[in-house]
Structure formats: structure tokens, C-alpha cells
A and B are shown apart, each in its own frame.
Chain A
Amino acid sequence: MSTMNTSAVSGIDGHGDSLWLKAARKFKRDRVGMWALFGVFIYAVIALGVVFGFWGGAWADVTGPKWAPVSAEYWFGTNIIGQDIFARALYSTRTAFEVGLLVAIGATALGAVFGAVAGFFSGTWIDEIIIWVMGVLDSVPFILLVAAIAYSLGGSPWAMHIAMIATFWIGTARLVRGEVIKLKTLEYVEAAHAIGLGKVKIIFRHILPNTFHILLVQATISFVAAIKSEVILSFLGLGVKDGMSWGLMISESTFEVLAGFFNNFIAASVLMFGLVMAFNMFSDALQDALDPRSVK
């Protein structure tokens, strides 16, 4: 059946290659997209280097004097208590990826499941309940929701992740629902019904895989949104509890900037800008490449 559904989608353009192969070809031709991917790759390498202990491990150590300027020893200078800003900025890349990946995977998975179920059962009470839940969660201001979740979880370090997943899945679910409503009327799904396959199997084995192009794009969007939200939430004291992040660095810099010391602020802002920009451009390129209407 999986061969059947793939050809069903690839049949849109009438050529023999799959959507994925064509998308990959198109993506490779997109120079901006490739540069963006390279940028993301560099950040990923930095994050992995921190995970494996190659660099950034001394982010918490007090090694230098207060507000040391940029030097060969301290590439980005030191903060008010003498911590190496470069090490803290590198470590924050890991935090960004950790938050981005967890939230992107969690929100996409949740959105895929609920969107697919709602779409498959569109017009029924199941669909209505899921849409109602999405509407309710959408109506709560994001920061308030995070604060409420953080408070209810007693200051858990996962409160921020849970709050983001709890809100980010909705956008994905709405898109998947629409796609599934379209897909469920196609012949291959009717054939699956005809041979007696169960609804769960039809949804998750035969329909959902055909929404992967949407999920992939949505995952990249969630990734970027999670990084930005983490920075904002950490700045507000609702984010990272014990660790380091660009948001915390910017939060620290609020009183440093007034004293004329900008290193913390610049380091965190530039690194965050670079990653968000690269991921946004990567996401745009991916979206273009995976758009079935434009894949040739």
C-alpha cells in the first residue's frame, strides 16, 4: 500500500520520480537554501561539540576578571562575575538546539496525530472536540500559558518545553487536518477501506506518511519558534532554570549595557540571529522544494 500511496502523490506531476527525489533536486538548486543549510550545519556541529565536551564546558567557571575586554584569552570578553562569554555563548547553542529539537519533535508529532485524527473524522464529534481544544489553547496568551504551566509544575525545568509543545502543535494540526481531509477522498484510501483495513492503520500507515512534507516544514518552523520563544522566556525568568541560554545572556546584559558593556548582549544576539536566520531561510527553501504544486 505504501508504494501505492507514494505514486498517488507523485502522480500529481505525471513523472516517475517520487516527490522526495524531486524536492531534493530542487533544494540543491536553491543556493540560498544550501547556504542556510550549511549555516544550520555549523551550529549543529557547535552544539554537538558542546554535547561531547569538546568546547563550552567551562561556561559556568569564573576564570577572569569582571568585564574583561575581548582578547586572545577571552574571545568575547567576560561578564560581571568573570565568566567567559564565548564559552557561555557556545553552550547556549546546545541549549537552543536541545529546546528546538525537543519542541519541534514533540509539537510536530502531537500536531500530526491530532490533525490526522481530526481530518479523518472531519464533521464528527471527534473532529469538533479536537478543534475546540485547539481553539481554547489558541485563545490563551502564550506567556500566560507558560507562566501557568511553570507554576503548576512547581518550577520544573521542563515547564518551558511542555508549554511550547502545548501551543505549537496547533498550527501543525490545522495544516495536517486540511491535508488529510483532501487525502482521505483519494482512491488509494478508498481502496484501503475496500479491502477492510482498520481506521487506525489507514490514518497512521497510509494517510499520515503523505503529509510528511508538511510535517517537515512545520518542524523547521517550530524549531525556530522554539528558539526564539526560549530566548524570550529565559529573559523573563520563565525559561531555562539551571543552565545557560542566549535569553539568559541577554537578560544578564540588561544592567551591563547600562554600564557600557555590550559583549554579552552582542554575543547572544548575533549568534541567535544567525541561527534563526539560517533556519528561516532553510525552512523557506524546504517549503518551496516540497510544495507539490511547484515540484517539477
Chain B
Amino acid sequence: MVRAVATCQTWVSLALLLVPLVACSPGENAVAKAVPGQKAFRYSLDSAPTSLDPVRASTLYANQIVVNLYDTLYAYKYLQRPYELKPLLAEAMPDISADGLVYTIRLKQGVHFIDDIAFPDGRGREVIADDFVYSLQRHFDPATRPGGTWLWQGRIEGLDDWKKTGSDYAQPVSGLRALDRYTVQIKLTKPYPQLVDTLAQGFSGIVPHEAVEHYGREFSVNPVGSGPFHLVSYDTTKAVLLPNPAFRQEPVDLVFEGYNSDTQGQYGIDIIEGRSPPFLDRLEIAFIKEGSARWSSFTKDNEIQYAGLPNEQVNRVLASTVPVILKPEYAERYHMRSALEAGFVFSAFNMDFPEFGYNENPVREQRNHALRCAIIKGFDWRSRNDSWYSNLGVIFPGVIPPAVPEYDTTLSAASVSYDPEGARTLLAANNWNAENLPVLVYGTTPGPTSRLFYEQFRAWMKRIGYPPENIQLKTYATFGDIAKAWRNSELPLISKGWGLDYPDAENTLQLFYGPNGSPGSNDGNYNNPEYDDMFRQASVMQPSPERTALYRHMNRLIINDCAAITGLSRRGIALWHKNVIALPDRNFVGGRFLKYVDIVQPES
């Protein structure tokens, strides 16, 4: 009898084990493969994000996915250029007090988080103002290892003190409050014209505290948001997202989104007018690091449907680079969009190095200025553009790139003109010669491209009389290692790219603001009191001709001080299959365009 009971229990246990397996099967299959007839879009990214928690959405890759899983209060309009903000979870643009210090924002009602076991009954609850407050506070909680604190540090009344006193969520923050269930109030310590821009970034994604508490550290791979998609699988090679079935119905108003039929009509976007996104049944995001592998997958036609054009394929794919035109065989198969990046590449001199930058000896400091200017004259931007960017990039003087409205088209191009003869003359006039030119350690990461960048730089310097043996290579194992060296002020020249966080030149000018010196974002430790005064003055000004004039003056100071070899904005060329209706944009719009993607001929 005992034996019979035991056998029965065994069978029951086995049956119970099988029930969930059988129950899971259809879902698992749905995750594993797209169903014929589904509107599936297979997107690609150059790298996998390490976390999908909004507080750690520091990379472009994380940000692209996070904004599709979580709501933010604001976003950039899908098609409007120059970029323009719009309310997303907010009901409208904020009410701003006359002194620019108090922002009052109303949230949309009836928006719910996705269903998840983190909630008491498994059903996603409504998103309320407290969630926004909680989500922003998390950036000031060291336990979350946040990446976006700098956006609000010293800006919101009481928030920094809240962190200093232990980041206790039970304690209120005077400058960050929920006035009622749907109203948020933000009090600033000083005017912050870019505040609304910061509320459009993935960093400000709104999370429910229940999910953070339920998943703990695993929250980074178990996102629970109210965005247009929800995550069903995620590993180092691919993320699969399905549409949020409860996503609010908000029909697309193309005019409001900035649609321009003259420039955007060829993409067929007008078919989404009046329909509520998301339009996809399934969104797959493949993480493919190698450009050639990405390209190969893209051209197979049955794998990824979106890819950037690799540099090495430019001659094969383009009929012309200025203007950018596809060869007919590619134009037949793919949509194409070319756009300048919202950022630039540049090399800043580390002014803390007495050999190149500031020096106690005024005579030497003067000579250092000449040395920096000579190096700038010896830097051949046109060759760099030709070698590495297929002449698609835009070379510009200073640090205000063409992507922002404050870009100065009247600025002299002298600082980006290749002039080796002028460089040699300048060096000689300031008693620089092969015997006394200081050693310049050129830091880089491993890889043939990095090496060739170095060799190119060394060859240019040789032409101006710099001994090649004085341009020394130092290789760091990873990008993280070289970034650490920059932060620790270990290198005399910092060569990097900068992607803007918001379309405002303040975001690049802060790279040269004295108080932001190492380990801050001012890696070059540029420290000009006049510049710093103007930066402080402009930082509290709303966009205006006066502020633009200040920005441009600061830009000229950097050029005149020869503080950086700058700059070039790269042009990205994106291609996507003809059956995909979209206008991809990886700048400020980031991954938000994915919400609007439609497929006109689902796979059979």
C-alpha cells in the first residue's frame, strides 16, 4: 500500500512537472522564432548592452532598448529636424515658473506598467508621479551604481543632500515631489535650460519600485516598464521584444511629428498616419560587433534588415559620396539615409602636462602654446576624413559641431587647415627643434585601426619636424583602461569621440569647463577663467541669440588657446530593407523610431 502511494505520488509529481513544460511550449516557440505572416523587424546594434536598467543606460546600445521598454516624460519628435521635444508620458510641456526654477509636469492618466510577477496580483499597476520621483532618486542611490547622476547633480534642490544622508527613499526631497497622483514638481537650485532634454533620455526611464525590489540586481535583465515593447528574451547575441498589448492608443500625427514629404516621402512613412504604434508583432535586435559580419547578415536578405554601411563597403555601394547616392543595384533593394552624427571626434591637449600645457614659467607657457598650435597645423584633417571616413565627414573648427543650432558657419577654417610649412615656421620661431621637442605619448587601444591612426599622426608630426621617436605609442588593453588613463590625467593627448546627449552646444562646451577637470569630463584640464565665467553665465540662460553669442565666443577661446585638435563630425549611412517602413535615427531620437516601424510585406 505504501509502495502504491509512493508510485502514485511519483506519477503525480511527473505530471505536475510536465504541465508547466507543456504550458510553456507555445510561448517558448514564439520567442525562439518569428511566425510566418508576422510583422517582424530584425534590427541590429554594434554591441550588446550590459544592463537594461535605466539608471545604467549609459551606452547608445542600452539607451536604444531602454527607451522602448520604459516611458520617459518627454521625447524628441520622430521626424522633426532640427530636433524638437514633445511630451511622451507627460500630458504637455512643463509649466515653468517665471524665474525658471520650478517645473510642474502633469502625467497622462491610465498608463500601466506591463504585467509582471513583481506586482502583487501579477497585473501591472498604473504609472504615477511617485514612480517618476522614485526613478530619478535612484540616480542618487549609490547602491544602483548609476550612470546618469551627472545630469541632475547640483541641479535639483535637496537631491544631493538626500544622497549624502544615505539615499533613504522614505525621506522626501524638497526639490523633487509628487504634488498629487499625476503631478510632478521639480525645484531647481539654478536655472537649467536643458532639464527637459534630460527627461527625454533613457536615464530618466520610469520604473516601478516593486520590480526593483523583487528582482534586485537581476532587475537589469528583467525590465518592467510601460513602453511600447516588453522584453521576452535577452542574451549577448540577441534581444527579442514583443509589443506591449496594453500600450496606450495614441494615433500618429505626422504633421506634429515633423514629417516632410519632400525629404522623407520616399520612405513611405505616410502609411502610419492615424494609426497607433507599435506596429510590429515582433522586434529582434541582433548584437553584431564586427561590421563585416553585420554587413554580410544584412545583405543575405533573410537575416537582419537594418545595418550601417561599413567604411570598407562605401566604394562598392555608393555611386557618389557628395551627395550620398546608392548604386542602382543597392537602391533597388534598400532604403538609405545619411546623416551627420550628433557629435564629433577630436583630440584635446592635456593642459596639466607642463610639457604641452600650462607651465609656471610664462616663457615656456608661451612656447607650449606655439607647440600646440604647430601640432594643430600639422594635423591633416582632410587626409583623416579620406582615409577613415570616405570623405563623408564634415570638418569644422572648434567644438560646436554642425548638429547643434549654435554651430557657427562664419568661423575661420584656419584651425582645421593643414599647414605643415606654417607649423615648422612656428616651431622654429619659438625655439623648438628636434632636440628639445618633448616626448608625446600617444595612448590607444589594441587593433590595426588604432595603430594606423597613431602611425598617421606620427607621420604628420614628422613632416613638421617632430622626431618620430618622440611620438611614442602606449597601448591600453581595453577602452575602459584608456578611459581610466584619461580620467587620471595620465596622457598628454586625449583622442576621443563625443556623442551629444542633447542638441545644445552646452553639452560639448562643458568638456572644456575648468571645474569639470579630471576625473570629470574635461579630460584636457583646460582652465580658462574667462571661459569658465562665460560658461556659468550661459548655463542658466534659455536658448537665445545672447546665449548663442556666448557659446560662440567660448568656442573661439578654445581655438585661440590651441587647446584641442578639433574637429570632425562623421556621417553615418544607414540602410534598411525596402519592406521596412521607418526612418532610423541613432542620434537623440535613439531607439525611439522602433516604435514607428512598420512592415509592408510580412514574410510568408
Which chain A residues have a beta carbon within 8 Å of chain B's beta carbons?
Answer: 60-62, 66, 79-83, 151, 155, 237, 241-242, 248, 251-252, 254-256, 258-260
What is the CA–CA distance of A66 and B447 in the complex, to the nearest angstrom? 19
Asked if B312 and A258 make an inter-chain contact with CB atoms under 8 angstroms apart, the answer reads yes
Choice from B292, B295, B456 contacting A81 with Cβ under 8 Å: B456
Choice from B312, B446, B460, B474 contacting A256 with Cβ under 8 Å: B312
Given that A60-B468, A66-B387 are known contacts, is A81 also in contact with B452, CB under 8 Å in the complex?
yes
Asked if B456 and A62 make an inter-chain contact with CB atoms under 8 angstroms apart, the answer reads yes
Asked if B458 and A60 make an inter-chain contact with CB atoms under 8 angstroms apart, the answer reads yes
B499 at the interface (CB under 8 A from A): no
Most interface-central of A60, A79, A81, A241 (chain B CB within 10 A): A81
Asked if A80 and B452 make an inter-chain contact with CB atoms under 8 angstroms apart, the answer reads yes
Asked if A255 and B292 make an inter-chain contact with CB atoms under 8 angstroms apart, the answer reads yes
Q: Which residues does chain A contribute within 8 Å of B291, judged by CB atoms?
A: 255
Asked if B383 and A259 make an inter-chain contact with CB atoms under 8 angstroms apart, the answer reads no
Q: Which residues does chain B contribute within 8 Å of A66, judged by CB atoms?
A: 386-387
| Between-chain CB contacts (< 8 Å), 29 pairs | A60-B455, A60-B462, A61-B459, A62-B455, A62-B459, A66-B387, A79-B452, A80-B387, A80-B388, A81-B387, A81-B455, A81-B459, A83-B455, A155-B474, A155-B475, A241-B473, A242-B472, A242-B473, A251-B448, A252-B452, A255-B310, A255-B448, A255-B449, A256-B312, A258-B295, A258-B310, A258-B312, A259-B312, A259-B316
- How distant is B11 from chain A, measured CB to nearest CB, in Å? 50
What is the CA–CA distance of A237 and B447 in the complex, to the nearest angstrom? 6
Asked if B386 and A248 make an inter-chain contact with CB atoms under 8 angstroms apart, the answer reads no
Asked if A82 and B452 make an inter-chain contact with CB atoms under 8 angstroms apart, the answer reads no
| Beta-carbon nearest neighbor of A240 in chain B | B451
| Beta-carbon nearest neighbor of A59 in chain B | B455
| Beta-carbon nearest neighbor of B449 in chain A | A255
Asked if B316 and A248 make an inter-chain contact with CB atoms under 8 angstroms apart, the answer reads no
- Secondary structure call for the A interface: loop
Q: Which residues does chain B contribute within 8 Å of A252, judged by CB atoms?
A: 448, 451-452
Q: Which residues does chain A contribute within 8 Å of B475, judged by CB atoms?
A: 155, 241
What is the CA–CA distance of A57 and B474 in the complex, to the nearest angstrom? 22
Q: Which residues does chain A contribute within 8 Å of B383, judged by CB atoms?
A: 62, 81-82
Asked if B310 and A248 make an inter-chain contact with CB atoms under 8 angstroms apart, the answer reads no
- How distant is A188 from chain B, measured CB to nearest CB, in Å? 53
| Beta-carbon nearest neighbor of A257 in chain B | B312
B549 at the interface (CB under 8 A from A): no
What is the CA–CA distance of A151 and B446 in the complex, to the nearest angstrom? 13
| Beta-carbon nearest neighbor of B314 in chain A | A259
Given that A62-B459, A83-B455, A237-B447 are known contacts, is A151 also in contact with B312, CB under 8 Å in the complex?
no
Choice from A62, A255, A260 contacting B316 with Cβ under 8 Å: A260
| Beta-carbon nearest neighbor of A261 in chain B | B312
- How distant is A168 from chain B, measured CB to nearest CB, in Å? 24
Chain B 450-476: CB-based contact to A (< 8 A → 1; otherwise 0)? 011001101110100000100011110
What is the CA–CA distance of A258 and B460 in the complex, to the nearest angstrom? 27
Asked if A61 and B310 make an inter-chain contact with CB atoms under 8 angstroms apart, the answer reads no
Q: Which of B412-464 contact A (CB under 8 A)?
A: 446-449, 451-452, 455-456, 458-460, 462
Choice from B312, B313, B451, B458 contacting A248 with Cβ under 8 Å: B451
Asked if B456 and A255 make an inter-chain contact with CB atoms under 8 angstroms apart, the answer reads no
What is the CA–CA distance of A255 and B295 in the complex, to the nearest angstrom? 12
Choice from A83, A254, A259 contacting B448 with Cβ under 8 Å: A254
Q: Which residues does chain A contribute within 8 Å of B311, judged by CB atoms?
A: 255, 259
Which chain B residues have a beta carbon within 8 Å of chain A's beta carbons?
Answer: 291-292, 295, 310-316, 383, 386-388, 446-449, 451-452, 455-456, 458-460, 462, 468, 472-475, 477
What is the CA–CA distance of A60 and B456 in the complex, to the nearest angstrom? 8
Q: Which residues does chain A contribute within 8 Å of B452, judged by CB atoms?
A: 79-81, 252
Asked if A260 and B315 make an inter-chain contact with CB atoms under 8 angstroms apart, the answer reads yes
- How distant is A199 from chain B, measured CB to nearest CB, in Å? 46
What is the CA–CA distance of A259 and B318 in the complex, to the nearest angstrom? 12
Q: Which residues does chain B contribute within 8 Å of A237, judged by CB atoms?
A: 446-447
What is the CA–CA distance of A259 and B311 in the complex, to the nearest angstrom? 8
What is the CA–CA distance of A255 and B474 in the complex, to the nearest angstrom? 23
- How distant is A117 from chain B, measured CB to nearest CB, in Å? 37
What is the CA–CA distance of A258 and B292 in the complex, to the nearest angstrom? 8
What is the CA–CA distance of A80 and B475 in the complex, to the nearest angstrom? 21
What is the CA–CA distance of A79 and B386 in the complex, to the nearest angstrom? 12
What is the CA–CA distance of A61 and B468 in the complex, to the nearest angstrom? 10
Q: Which residues does chain A contribute within 8 Å of B313, judged by CB atoms?
A: 258-259
Asked if A248 and B456 make an inter-chain contact with CB atoms under 8 angstroms apart, the answer reads no
- How distant is B488 from chain A, measured CB to nearest CB, in Å? 16
Given that A258-B313, A259-B312, A259-B313 are known contacts, is A248 also in contact with B468, CB under 8 Å in the complex?
no
Q: Which residues does chain B contribute within 8 Å of A155, judged by CB atoms?
A: 474-475, 477
What is the CA–CA distance of A66 and B388 in the complex, to the nearest angstrom? 10
Asked if B387 and A248 make an inter-chain contact with CB atoms under 8 angstroms apart, the answer reads no
Choice from B295, B388, B459, B474 contacting A60 with Cβ under 8 Å: B459
What is the CA–CA distance of A151 and B295 in the complex, to the nearest angstrom? 33
- How distant is A142 from chain B, measured CB to nearest CB, in Å? 19
Q: Which residues does chain B contribute within 8 Å of A248, judged by CB atoms?
A: 448, 451
Asked if A61 and B462 make an inter-chain contact with CB atoms under 8 angstroms apart, the answer reads yes
What is the CA–CA distance of A82 and B447 in the complex, to the nearest angstrom? 18
What is the CA–CA distance of A39 and B237 in the complex, to the nearest angstrom? 48
- How distant is A90 from chain B, measured CB to nearest CB, in Å? 16
Most interface-central of A61, A62, A255, A256 (chain B CB within 10 A): A62
What is the CA–CA distance of A248 and B448 in the complex, to the nearest angstrom? 7
What is the CA–CA distance of A259 and B459 in the complex, to the nearest angstrom? 24
Q: Which residues does chain B contribute within 8 Å of A81, judged by CB atoms?
A: 383, 387, 452, 455-456, 459
What is the CA–CA distance of A212 and B97 in the complex, to the nearest angstrom? 91
- How distant is B89 from chain A, measured CB to nearest CB, in Å? 43
What is the CA–CA distance of A183 and B312 in the complex, to the nearest angstrom? 61
What is the CA–CA distance of A152 and B472 in the complex, to the nearest angstrom? 21
Asked if A259 and B315 make an inter-chain contact with CB atoms under 8 angstroms apart, the answer reads yes
- How distant is A277 from chain B, measured CB to nearest CB, in Å? 26
Most interface-central of A66, A155, A242 (chain B CB within 10 A): A242
| Beta-carbon nearest neighbor of A249 in chain B | B448
Given that A83-B455, A256-B312 are known contacts, is A62 also in contact with B448, CB under 8 Å in the complex?
no
With A66-B387, A258-B310, A258-B313 known, 13 other A-B pairs at CB within 8 A are A60-B462, A60-B468, A79-B452, A81-B383, A151-B477, A155-B477, A241-B475, A248-B448, A254-B448, A255-B291, A256-B312, A259-B311, A259-B313
- How distant is A235 from chain B, measured CB to nearest CB, in Å? 9
- How distant is B493 from chain A, measured CB to nearest CB, in Å? 16
| Beta-carbon nearest neighbor of B391 in chain A | A66
What is the CA–CA distance of A254 and B451 in the complex, to the nearest angstrom? 14
- How distant is B265 from chain A, measured CB to nearest CB, in Å? 33
Q: Which residues does chain A contribute within 8 Å of B295, judged by CB atoms?
A: 258
The 8 closest A-B pairs by CB, nearest first: A259-B312, A62-B459, A237-B446, A258-B312, A252-B448, A251-B448, A81-B456, A255-B312
What is the CA–CA distance of A242 and B473 in the complex, to the nearest angstrom? 7
What is the CA–CA distance of A256 and B462 in the complex, to the nearest angstrom? 25
What is the CA–CA distance of A242 and B442 in the complex, to the nearest angstrom? 12
Q: Which residues does chain B contribute within 8 Å of A83, judged by CB atoms?
A: 455, 459
Q: Which residues does chain A contribute within 8 Å of B315, judged by CB atoms?
A: 259-260
What is the CA–CA distance of A79 and B387 in the complex, to the nearest angstrom? 9
